[in-house]
Amino acid sequence: MAEGKASMDELGQVFEQQFRGKPRSPMGDALREFKRNKVAVGSLVFIAVVGFLALFAPLFTPYGYNVQNTAYARAKPMTPYVITTDKYEQCHWKGTPLDFGCTVYILGADGLGRDILSRVVYGARVSLLVAIIGSSVSLIIGTFYGVISGYFGGKVDELMMRIVDFLYALPVLVIIIIMTVYFKALARSGATGFAGFLIDLDQAMGGLLFMFIAIGALSWLGMARQARGQILAHKKKEYVEAARSIGAGSSRIIFKHLLPNIIGPLLVLESLAIPGYIGLEAFLSFIGLGVNPPTPSWGIMISEGYLGIKSNPHLVLVPGTALTLLTLAFNFMGDGIRDAIDPRIHGR
Amino acid sequence: MTRYIIRRFLVSIPVLFAIVLFTFAVVHALPGGPFSNVGEKAMPEQIRLIMERRYGLDKPIYIQFWNYLVMLAHGDLGPLMRMPSQTVNDIVYQTWPVSIQLGTLSVLLAFTIGIPAGILAALRRNTWVDYTATFTAVLGVSINNIVLGPLLILVFGVWLKWFPIAFWGAEPPWILGFLPKPTLNFWWHAVLPVVTLGTAMSATIARLTRASLLEVMMSDYIRTARAKGLKERTVIIRHALKNSLIPVATILGPLLAGVLTGTFVVEQIFALHGMGRQFIMSIEQREYFLLSSLTLLYSVMLVLGNLMVDIMYAWLDPRIRYD
């Protein structure tokens, strides 16, 4: 009996811990779980640092991304940059530390003599923007579409899901390529009215706008399906019925009750999709359909450099390393978010 | 099952039609035509009109579309307007097999590496084997083709000089219309492009296999099998493996799309005369027929591929057929 009493005491202690403290929310649990994952937190810090560098790029880059100095075309990493001959003596690096007042192409220069370090830092802007825009567009449109389809059901659902099925069957990449080509050709030939406005905006953004439209237009499909499935799983549950019984309207049920419950799996799906957006941008820029030169993007830098990889490997290796590290960080972060939010499907 | 296949097949027909229509419309809406310039110079107006009439480009767009459909129905993918000595069919015969060979070899490589690696990692869970495999797989997923290709060229082509750095080791005429002559030269040239394309895929498959097998190993029927006193070996091989491979089959759909993207890049990097490179070139030159027909071919491949995946999935998991 003494044994039984002791375990009752233990149970009491557990109760104390559980219910006397702050209430635990699913998101709080997920956050705690995420914080325990050192790799994921490290990746998040890395992404934050890259984001900070990209945002304040002018402060961290020695030259602008489009400052050409053809005398230093394809300069190797750590080549000192000197303007006058008397400074040359002072600045030329003979294996000794450089004097102050000398500047250096730390990561070398590209074929037009543009500093690679500056271009890589500015290039991070494009990759991160694509990650942010791609994921938010797909999350917002996809969730909205899926929730409406799943919640109202019936004929609406039937029609909306047929449309998604149809779009799903299209070869997305080929369509994106053709759309981008169309936008770009339109931009070259000039247009007026709304199209002209879009083209001007795109030019101002260095060709990013059309790529966002192309990526965003087709990335929401998977999200819509997932959101609909989640809604279907939740809308018959007791808490929804309870809310309805006290007179809550559709919008209140959707926003106050359903969305907070289904958002977790959607966030997981979205975070796992981000590396794909970054890869797609790099791919499009690589084949010449992404951002317009001279806007620096890692994909463009690689495509400019890979033909001369034998003599100047740094032209590819520097942006390539940047692209790989950022993708790696987003992958680790996505895995971390998945493990934290949805312990059921994690791989540990 | 037959009904399911027929239904799925019928659904893909309007999809393909819509794709042809869409591509045709966009391609013809592109500013500038195949005869708007000769090299850097503008084509004289008279000659341009004559050339356009020769290929029926002066007719209304819906008549052009109808003519194109009739042509397709006869198995004719169209003429090449800037290179009249060849047709689109010739180009497809020369380049499609290269892309198919590249893609197929990469997928084979991906499965032969990915599945065993995933199984091994799951069975040796939380050991150094698992950690190595998992980390390598994340790295493999994260490294883009446009980075891996040049990197492999640099290391194995330029520095070590083990493999050739460009070109495909086989050319037409193909055996049976699409197979290469399996010479040493062919395999030699295939290594780097196939590894470039296959790495990300095998990493994806390994991750998926590992996660899936781990989940299966925790399920009730595995516990029952163990409780019966079966050897661990039998439990894994006879009971766990088959079910754990079902989710891996779902990856085949996205994988096909990935192979397609990959061939575009890999053909560009290794200068292979494949269809992806041809596709990108045809955009710049406004070769209406080539561009439309290649888009159609890609769509047919993807739609049929997805169909095959769905059928296989329905066969593996009978619940799906009755949705």
- Whether the pLDDT of residue A21 is over 60: the answer is no
Which chain B residue has the Cα nearest residue A274? B142
A96 within a domain of the structure (yes/no):
no
Cβ atoms within 10 A of the Cβ of A321, count?
Answer: 16
Residue A124, pLDDT score = 92
Alpha carbon of A60 to those of A15, A119, A209, A243: distances in Å?
A: 53, 11, 26, 53
| Structural domain count, chain A | 1
- Half-sphere CA count of A310, side-chain side, radius 13 A: 9
Tell me whether the omega of the peptide bond preceding residue B173 falls within 30 degrees of 0, making it cis.
Answer: yes
Asked if residue B150 lies in contact with residue A298, where contact means CB atoms within 8 angstroms, the answer is: no
In a domain, A125, yes or no: yes
- pLDDT, tens only, B217-264: 888 888 998 899 888 888 888 888 888 888 787 777 778 777 887 888
Determine how β-strand A79-81 pairs with β-strand B41-42.
unpaired
The CATH number that applies at residue A130 is 1.10.3720.10
Dist. CA B244–CA A254, nearest whole Å: 36
Tracing tokens 């004559």 back to the chain, one arrives at: B50
What does the pLDDT read at residue A87?
Answer: 54
Tokens at A164, concatenated: 């998604």
Both tokens assigned to B44: 């004289």
Could you report the per-residue pLDDT of A142-157, keeping only the tens digit for each?
999 999 888 888 888 8
User: Cis link prior to A80 (omega < 30° from 0)?
Assistant: no
B16 versus A81: the higher-pLDDT residue is B16
Query: What are the beta bridge partners of residue A105?
Result: A79
| Angstrom distances, CA of residue A4 to CA of A8, A9, A18 | 6, 9, 21
Other CB atoms within a 10 A radius of the CB of residue B102 amount to 27
CB atoms within 10 A of CB A42: 14
Continuous H helices in chain B: 2-29, 45-54, 61-73, 88-123, 128-142, 145-152, 184-217, 220-227, 232-234, 241-244, 246-250, 252-269, 275-285, 288-316
* C-beta separation of A263 from A30 below 8 A: no
Q: DSSP per residue over A125-160, as a string?
A: HHHHHHHHHHHHHHHHHHHHHHHHHHHH-HHHHHHH
Residue of A nearest to B300 (CA): A171
Q: How far apart are CA B254 and CA B219, in angstroms?
A: 27
| Cα A325 from chain centre | 13
Nearest residue of A to residue B29, measured between CA atoms: A182
pLDDT mean across residues, chain A: 79
Say how far apart CA B108 and CA B187 lie, in whole Å. Answer: 14
Selection from B258, B148, B138, B104 nearest residue B210 by Cα: B138
In a domain, A29, yes or no: no
Whether residue A48 has pLDDT greater than 60:
yes
Reduced to 3 states, what is the DSSP secondary structure of residue B301?
helix
A219 located within any domain: yes
Return the minimum-mean-pLDDT range out of A37-46, A85-94, A116-125, A142-151.
A85-94
A27-41, A207-221, B68-82, B145-159: least confidently modelled range: A207-221
Tokens representing B49 are 């009109």
Please answer yes or no on whether B158 and A310 come within 8 Å at the CB atom: yes
- A85-94 pLDDT tens trace: 555 555 555 4
User: What pLDDT tens digit does each residue of chain B (323 aa) get?
Assistant: 788 788 778 877 888 888 888 888 888 877 777 777 766 677 788 888 888 888 888 888 888 889 888 988 898 888 888 788 888 899 898 888 999 899 999 999 999 999 999 999 998 888 899 899 989 999 999 998 899 999 999 999 889 989 988 888 777 788 887 788 888 888 888 899 999 999 989 999 999 899 889 888 888 888 998 899 888 888 888 888 888 888 787 777 778 777 887 888 899 899 888 888 888 888 777 788 888 888 888 888 888 887 887 777 777 776 665 54
Tell whether A292 is covered by a domain.
Answer: yes
Asked if B291 and B282 touch (Cβ cutoff 8 Å), the reply is yes
Residues of B in contact with A47 (CB under 8 A): none
- Contact (CB<8Å) B138/A328: yes
pLDDT of residue B280: 81
Distance separating alpha carbons of residues A272 and B145, to the nearest angstrom:
19
Categorise residue A76: left if φ over 0, alpha if ψ from -120 to 50, beta otherwise. Answer: beta
Alpha carbon separation from A270 to A38, A67, A263 (Å, rounded): 21, 37, 10
Domain of A320 in residue numbering reads as 38-61+115-346
Q: For residue A251, is it within any domain?
A: yes
How far does the CA of residue B13 sit from the closest CA of chain A (Å)?
Answer: 11
Q: Residue B151: its chain A contacts at CB < 8 A?
A: 316-317, 320
A194: pLDDT strictly greater than 60: yes
What pTM value is reported for the model?
A: 0.84
Residue A52: inside a domain, yes or no?
A: yes
Contact A182 B26 (CB under 8 A): yes
Q: What is the tens place of the pLDDT at every residue in A267-309?
A: 888 888 899 899 988 988 888 887 887 888 899 999 888 888 8
**Residues of chain B found within 8 Å of residue A163, distances taken between Cβ atoms:** none
> Cα angle at A233 between A230 and A238, to 5 degrees?
125
Distance CA B52, CA A298 (A): 40
Indicate whether A307 belongs to any domain: yes
Nearest CA in chain A to B156: A310
ipTM of the complex: 0.85
CA A316, A318, A320, A321: dihedral to nearest 10 degrees? 150
The answer to whether B158 and A315 are in contact (CB under 8 A) is: no
Q: Cβ(A223)–Cβ(A250) under 8 Å?
A: no
The answer to whether the Cβ–Cβ distance between A185 and B261 falls below 8 Å is: no
Instruction: Find the mean pLDDT for residues A47-66.
Output: 83
How far is it, in rounded angstroms, from Cα B231 to Cα A31?
41
